[in-house]
Copies of this chain bind each other. A is one copy, B any other.
């Protein structure tokens, strides 16, 4: 007997691929840019100015998330949000996503429905008009989510990492250290007595400290600030995924300059309750870090945090800053999941 639609007790293995897709498709957001959506061998998208922006990012159970902490809705939201941020960091408007989901056969189909709802809600909240135009569903012992995102440059040039010039203002839109603080809290208080990630403990923590925990599990990067920065003649931009220190050094290296950051401005963005070191080193906030010509009017959401100067690397308050920060999935993952 074919599985009944709406039977939320079924697993992927019981429902099979076709019935699962039939339940997911109606929940996915439609893309304004889609000329042809899911269902054929490929989708067809509009590229009004004759170019398109493409980025891809993967989330893997273990190194990138814990099932005890992240709901399926969180995973859909975060998978969308992180890719939307990469599109925005080029100065482009996100138009569409394709989503490859690799899930254990014992996963409830209802988890996939909630995952699709997370994709839809993140697109609606962060990049209205952006939708899911295709995907792939496969089986694996390790839940893995690979999203590819597309964007429209609206006839502007892309904002690269390499355009910062001495004298430019360094500015940031979004949060600093909040997602990393959320992760530290989860490792401290979202665990059981043996230190194992625990859903009930994480739920209590999230109710008590929604700001940092939401920032970690379902981040809301300032997507609209990306195209706004491009319109304001940003000379360089990226999204701060690995930590401000590491990502500022990336702009410095690509542009052949140094970035001199103001610790007071960073502390002001981070706010009370965020360790300034975490504001510099903590990843996953997906803030947009950009440089602007000295005479530019910073677009709404951006606050100045420093200056581009001659030299190389990162300075904080005029002094070389060698502090580490960031995350390497091969060097830093301890192999744990949960």
Within 8 Å of chain B (Cβ to Cβ): is A194?
Answer: no
State A50–B239 Cα separation when bound (angstroms): 27
Within 8 Å of chain B (Cβ to Cβ): is A119?
Answer: no
Nearest chain B CB to A67's CB is how many angstroms away? 14
Q: Provided the pairs A17-B329, A60-B139, A139-B60 are in contact, do residues A50 and B53 lie with their beta carbons within 8 angstroms?
A: no
Contact partner of A100 (CB less than 8 A), chosen from B41, B58, B62, B329, is: B58
Within 8 Å of chain B (Cβ to Cβ): is A295?
Answer: no
Q: How many copies does the complex hold?
A: 2
Contacts of A51 in B (CB 8 A): 35, 44-47
| Interfacial residues of chain A within 1-48, with CB under 8 A of chain B in the complex | 12-13, 15-18, 20, 35-36, 39-48
- A90 near B140: Cβ-Cβ < 8 Å: no
State A63–B140 Cα separation when bound (angstroms): 7
Q: How large is the interface on A (under 10, 10 to 19, 20 to 34, 35 or more residues)?
A: 35 or more
Q: Which B-chain residue is minimally distant from A327 (CB atoms)?
A: B17
State A142–B335 Cα separation when bound (angstroms): 12
- A98 near B139: Cβ-Cβ < 8 Å: no
Q: Which B-chain residue is minimally distant from A18 (CB atoms)?
A: B328
Contacts of A135 in B (CB 8 A): 56
- A52 near B47: Cβ-Cβ < 8 Å: yes
Interface string of A67-106 (1 = CB under 8 A from B): 0000000000000000000110110100010111010010
- A54 near B35: Cβ-Cβ < 8 Å: no
Within 8 Å of chain B (Cβ to Cβ): is A137?
Answer: yes
- A46 near B40: Cβ-Cβ < 8 Å: no
Contacts of A134 in B (CB 8 A): 54-56
Nearest chain B CB to A28's CB is how many angstroms away? 14
Comparing A143-151, A170-178, A197-205, A309-317, the segment that makes contact with chain B is: A143-151
Comparing A153-161, A210-218, A272-280, the segment that makes contact with chain B is: A153-161
- B333 near A105: Cβ-Cβ < 8 Å: yes
Q: A54-B133, A138-B329 are in contact. List 4 more A-B contacts (CB 8 A).
A: A17-B331, A41-B239, A61-B140, A148-B148
Chain A residues in the interface with B (C-beta under 8 A): 12-13, 15-18, 20, 35-36, 39-48, 50-64, 86-87, 89-90, 92, 96, 98-100, 102, 105, 133-142, 144, 146, 148-151, 153, 158, 160-161, 237-239, 328-331, 333, 335
- CB-defined A-B contacts under 8 Å, sample of 18: A17-B331, A42-B149, A45-B51, A46-B50, A47-B50, A54-B134, A54-B148, A56-B98, A56-B135, A56-B148, A57-B100, A58-B102, A58-B146, A61-B140, A102-B146, A141-B142, A142-B144, A146-B146
